[in-house]
Structure 1
Amino acid sequence: MEKLIGRKTEITILKEALASSQAELIAVYGRRRVGKTYLIRTVYESQLLIELTGLNGISTNAQLENFSLTVARTFDLPLLTPKNWLQAFHVLIQVLEKRLASEPTAKKVIFLDELPWFDSHKSGFLPAFDHFWNTWASKKDNLVVVICGSAASWMIQNIVRNKGGLHNRITRRIRLLPFNLQETELFLQSKYIRLDRYQLLQLYMVLGGIPHYLKEMKTGESVIQTIDRLCFTKDGLLSTEFKDLYTALFGNSEKHSLIVKTLANKPEGMSRNQIIATCGLSSGSGLTKIIDDLAESGFVTEYIPFGKTVKDSIFKLTDEYSLFYLKFMENNKAFGEGTWQKRSQSSSWKGWSGLAFETICLKHTAQLKKALGIAGVYTESSVWRLVGKNDTEGTQIDLLLDRQDNCINLCEIKFSLTEFTIDKAYAEILNKKRRIFIEKTGTKKAVFITMISTFGIKVNEHFLGTAQNQLTMDVLFE
C-alpha cells in the first residue's frame, strides 16, 4: 500500500471492514478535493474488484452507458447497455457472483464513487441501489461496498439518514476532513518541500489542508510565489475554483454562495436569524438544509456560545480558501506575476492574517488542549461575546475552553511577525475581559488567561501579572 499521510482513524475503519465476518456498506463523504477517492483506492488497492464513478451533469442514459462501459472494461465483457438502473445492477450481480465464488474467503470491494451524480432527476438510481444492497450484497459476507460522494449533505440525507430501504443499513461511515497543520507539514515533506512553520501557517491560511491544492506547491518555491501562481495568474488552479467548487457540490448553489459571502463579512459569526435577515431569505427547512450542506462539507462551523444552547448557535465561515478568495481575489483587478508579492505587504493582509490565525486555532483545539496538559480532561470549546449597550462594556473571547476540572481558559489569539509584547494598556484590556466575563457569566470556576501567538509572548511584568499560560504556533503542529 502506498504511504498515506495521516488518516489513521479512517484507515483503521476501512481495515476493520475487511476483517469483519459480515457484508459491509461504508459511506465516505467530505468536500471536493479532500482525498476521498485516493484514500479508498490506496487502502483497498489489493481488494478492489471494480470502481464505478458517477459523472456530473449528464443524462440517466449517459450514466448507464458509462456504468456499462466500466463493467465491460473491468471484466473484459461485451458491452450491453441496460435500459434502467435495476437492469444495470442485475448485470453487475451476475458478474460479481462468479468473482466472489472463486475466492469465497477473501473479502472483495466494490467502490461507487461520486454516488450523488448517479442519482440524476427521476433516474431511479437510489431505489435500484437500495434493492441491490438489501436483496443481494448484504448477504455476501465476503463483500465490502464503499459509496462515496463530495456532496456531503446529499450523502447524509439520502444515505446515512435514509428513511426507506437503506435506513440503518450503513455499517460504517467516514467524514473525511482536510489535513490539520501537522498532516500538512508531513504531506509537503513527503514531496521534498520543507518550509518553516511560519511559512506553513501562511500557506494554510490560503489553501487550508486540501491535499489537491497543497500538491501544487513546487520545491524551491516560496509561499508567496505559490499563492501568486495558483491564485493570481490566468490559468492558476485556484483562480476560478470558488465558483466551480460550490456549483459541483451543491448544484443550484446561489443561496449557498450568498450565505458564504455574507459570513465572510462577519468574522465574529452570525446567528441563524441574522443570516436570514441579512441575506433576505425566508426561515424554514430550506435554509436549514443549506446551512447543513455548508457545515457537513466543512465550509461553515457551528459554535454554541458559552452558557447558551444550540438555538443560540452562531455560524462562522471557516474554509480558508473561501475566506481568502472573497477578501483578496473576488473583484481583484490586478492579476499576473508579482501580484501577491505586492499585496502580501499591505495592511489589509496583515489585519486579515489575525482573523485567519484565529480560525486555524479554533480548528486545532485538540492540539491546544494537549499543549496545556488537559488532553484527558473533558472540555467544551466555545466562543463568548458581550455586545455593549448604553453604559455596559462589550467584549469578546476568541476561544474559551470550559474544563470539567473546574477551570476555564480564556484564550487570546495574536498573530504577529515577531515575539508579541503585552504593554500596560493591553494588560488592562485583558484583565478587563476576564473581569467582565466572570461578572456576566457568574462562573465560580478558576479563570485563566491563555495567550496563543505565532512566536510567543515576551516575558515582562505585564505578562506575568496578566496571563497564566502562553502557547506558540508550534503546538498547533503537534
Structure 2
Amino acid sequence: MTEKLIGREYECGELERCLESDRSELIIVYGRRRIGKTFLIEQYFEKHFDFWFVGVRGLTTKNQLRRFAKVLKEYSGISSYHFSDWFDAFDALQDYLEHLPADRKRIVFIDEMPWMDSGRSNFVVALENFWNGWAMSRENVMMIATGSATSWMRDKLVGNKGGLHARVTCQLHLAPFTLRETEKYLENRGMFWDRYQILQSYMLLGGVPYYYSILAPEKSLMQNIDLLCFRPDGKLRIEFDELYNALFSNADYYIDTVKVLSAHKSGLTFQEIAKEIKLEGGKLTRVLKNLERCDFIERWSQYGNKKRQEILRLTDFYTLFYYKFIKSNNTKDEQWWSNNFDSQSVTSWMGVSFELVCLRHHNQIKKALGISGMATSVSTWHCKPNEKEQTPGAQIDMIIERADRMIHLCEMKFSEGVYHISQDYEKKLRERMGLFKYLTANKKSLVHTFITTYGVANGKHKSIVHSEVTMDDLFNS
C-alpha cells in the first residue's frame, strides 16, 4: 500500500480484511463526488488489478459494451470480443478470470458502476448472474465497485431485492476529511498553513479532498479563493451544476432543495421544506434521503419533543459558499474575496460556518470534554415566541446530553483572538438557560460549554462558562 493515502484507516483495514479472507468478496465504495473513492482503491492496490474498467456517464449500452470489450482484450490478450449484452460481457470476464492463478485473490475493479446501467441494459441482472453463478463459489474473487451516484449504489446493490440480496460483503462510505485529516493532506502537499487558515479553508472546501488538490501551494488562501471562485473560468465557480447533475437524475429537485436549505442556517423540518419547494411527499423523501447519503445534508433530532420532526440542515460547505458568495456575485471583480474579506457579510458567514464545523466535529468536542467513552446524545433545540405564555424565542444549535444526567448547552463562537463575553451576553445566556429548563421541564444539571477558536478571555463574565473547547481540540481526530 502506498504512503500517499491520508486518513481512511478504517477503510484500508476493511480492504485488507477482504483481501486476506477465505471467501469471495463483493465490496462497494460510495460517497459524494470528489471525495476520493477512486483514489483510495488505486492507491491501496497500487493500481495492480486483474481487471479495471471505468463506466462513462451518458454512453449508450452499445458503447459501454464496446469499451468493456476493448479493455478486456487488453487484459486477456484475446484478439477481439463482440458482446450483444452484459451477459456476454460477464461471461467473457469469467472465462478470462478462470485462467488466472487460483492461489490468490483475483481483483476486479469497476469504477463508476452506476453509469454502466444505462437504459434497459439488464446490467444488474447480468451482474447478479455473474456473481451468484460463478464468482461467489470460487472463494478467491474480489470485486470492488465504486460510484458517486450513491442512491444507485445503495438501492441496486446494498438494497437489492433480487439475486444480489445480502451478497455485498463490505460497504465503505467515504466521508469528507476531518480538520486533522485536512491538515495532514495539506502538509503532504507542502502547504504548511496555520490552523486558523485551515479552519477558514474548511468553511469553503469542507474536507473534500479534490477541492484541496486544486489549491495552488505557492498562493495564499485568499488568492486561491479568488482564483477558484471569482474568475469566470474558476474551477469552483463552474463546479456546482456538474456536481448535482453528475450525481442525481432530475437534479433540479435536488438543487431546489439545497437552495431552500441554504437560506435557513438552522435547518427546516420536512413539512417546511415541502411547503417551500412544493414537491410531493414521496419524491421529497427520496430527494432528502439521497442528499443525506451523499453528505450534503444532516438530520438532527430536536431536544425534548419526540413528536416534533427532525431538523434537516444543509451541511455541504461548498454549496453554502456557492449560494452565499458565488452565484449572486455579478461584479466581475476577480479579486472579490481579497477585496471584501473584512466585510460584515464575510464575518457573519464565518460565524455561521464555524458553527457548522463544530457540529461536524462533535466527536472531537466530546473527546475534549473527556466524555467520548460515555453514552451521549447530540441534538438541537429551538422555541418560537409565545405571546400567551409571554416567552421569547430562543435557539441552541448543539446540545450534548450525558448518561450521568448532565447537559452541555454549547455556544460556538468564531473570532480572531480570545472571545470576550459581555455583560449583556451573559444575561442573555442565563435567561435562555432558564427558558430551556422551564420549557423542557428539565431536572438535569445544565452547563454552558464554549467552543471558540482561541478560548474565552478571563473576566467577571466568564463565570458562566463551565467548560471550554478550542480550535486545537477540533483538530484532535
- TM-score of the pair, normalised by structure 2: 0.97
Alignment deviations for residues 227-252 of structure 1 (CA, whole Å, 9 cap, x no partner) = 11111112221111010000000022
1:167 alignment partner, SS class: coil
Mark the CA change 1:233 to 1:74 in structure 2 (over 3 Å): closer, same or farther: farther
Counterpart CA distance in 2 for 1:42 and 1:220 is: 26
In structure 2, distance between residues paired with 1:301 and 1:352: 19
Q: Superposition RMSD on alpha carbons, in Å?
A: 1.2
The correspondence for 2:336, drawn from 331, 336, 339, is: 339
1:44·1:109 contact (CA, 8 Å) conserved in 2?
no
Matches within 5 A, 1:104-183: 104-183=102-181
- Compute the displacement of 1:148 (Å): 1.0
Report the CA distance between 1:334 and its aligned residue: 2.4
1:295 aligns with 2:296: no
User: 2:214 & 2:54 partners in 1: Cα distance?
Assistant: 24
Q: Is the 8 A contact 2:302 2:308 kept in 1?
A: no
Q: Could you say what secondary structure the match of 1:468 adopts?
A: strand
- In 2: Cα distance, 1:420 partner to 1:269 partner: 26
Q: Please report how far the alpha carbon of residue 310 of structure 1 lies from its aligned counterpart in structure 2 after TM superposition.
A: 8.0
CA distance in 2, matches of 1:386, 1:46: 54
SS at match of 2:52: strand
Q: Name the counterpart of 1:427.
A: 426
| Aligned match of 2:2 | 2
Deviations 1:410-436 (A, max 9, x none): 100111122110011000111112111
What SS does the corresponding residue of 1:312 show, helix, strand or coil? coil
Amino acid at match of 2:65: L
Query: What is the aligned partner in structure 2 of residue 236 from structure 1?
Result: 234
Shift of 1:126: 0.7
Give the Cα separation in 2 of the matches to 1:252 and 1:225: 35
CA distance in structure 2 between the aligned counterparts of 1:183 and 1:309, rounded to whole angstroms: 35
Deviation at 1:446, TM superposition (A): 1.2
Instruction: Provide the rounded CA distance (Å) in 1 between the counterparts of 2:117 and 2:245.
Output: 16
- Counterpart secondary structure, 1:136: helix
Measured in 2, the distance between the counterparts of 1:157 and 1:309 equals: 29
Query: Identity of paired residues, percent?
Result: 39
Q: Shift of the alpha carbon at 1:142? A: 1.4
> Which range moves more in the overlay, 38-47 or 444-453?
38-47
1:276 is matched by which residue type in structure 2? A
Tell me the distance in 1 between the aligned counterparts of 2:231 and 2:333.
5
- Secondary structure of the residue that 1:470 maps to in structure 2? strand
Contact 1:246 1:256 in 2 (8 A): yes
Equivalent residue number for residue 70 of structure 2: 69
8 Å Cα contact 2:110/2:145 also seen in 1: yes
Could you tell me which residue of structure 2 aligns to residue 79 of structure 1? 80
Structure 1 residue 460 displacement after superposition = 1.1
Q: Could you give the per-residue CA deviations for residues 272-308 of structure 1, whole angstroms, max 9, x where no partner exists? A: 0000001111222x21111011000010111111123
1:20-419 map, 5 Å:
20-45=21-46, 48-99=49-100, 102=101, 104-284=102-282, 286-309=283-306, 312-390=309-387, 391-419=390-418
Task: For 1:116 and 1:48, locate their aligned partners in 2 and report how far apart those are by CA, in whole Å.
Answer: 20
Instruction: Read off the aligned partner of 1:84 and give its amino acid letter.
Output: D
Q: Is the 8 A contact 1:234 1:336 kept in 2?
A: no
Cα shift at 1:47: 5.1
Structure 2, unaligned runs of 5 or more: none
Q: Structure 1 residue 309: deviation in Å?
A: 3.6
Change (3 A) 1:311 1:145: farther
Residue 460 of structure 1 corresponds to: 459
In structure 2, C-alpha distance between the alignment counterparts of 1:90 and 1:28, rounded to whole Å: 24
- Number of residue pairs matched by the alignment: 473
TM superposition shift of 1:311: 6.4
Q: 3-state SS of the aligned residue for 1:270?
A: coil
Runs of 5+ consecutive residues of structure 1 not aligned to the other structure:
none
SS where residue 373 of structure 1 aligns?
Answer: coil
Shifted more, 261-270 versus 400-409: the winner is: 400-409
Residue 343 of structure 2 aligns with an amino acid whose one-letter code is S
Alpha-carbon offset, residue 35 of structure 1: 0.4
CA contact (8 A) 2:12 2:44 kept: yes
Distance in 1, Cα, partners of 2:308 & 2:41: 37
Deviations 1:347-370, CA, capped at 9 Å, x for gaps: 111111111111110000110011
Deviations, residues 420-455 of structure 1 (Å, cap 9, x unaligned): 100110001111121111111122221110001112
Q: 1:309 to 1:155 in 2, by over 3 A?
A: farther
Q: Distance in 2 between matches of 1:275 and 1:221?
A: 40
Instruction: Could you list the structure 1 runs, at least 4 aligned residues long, displaced by more than 6 angstroms after superposition.
Output: none
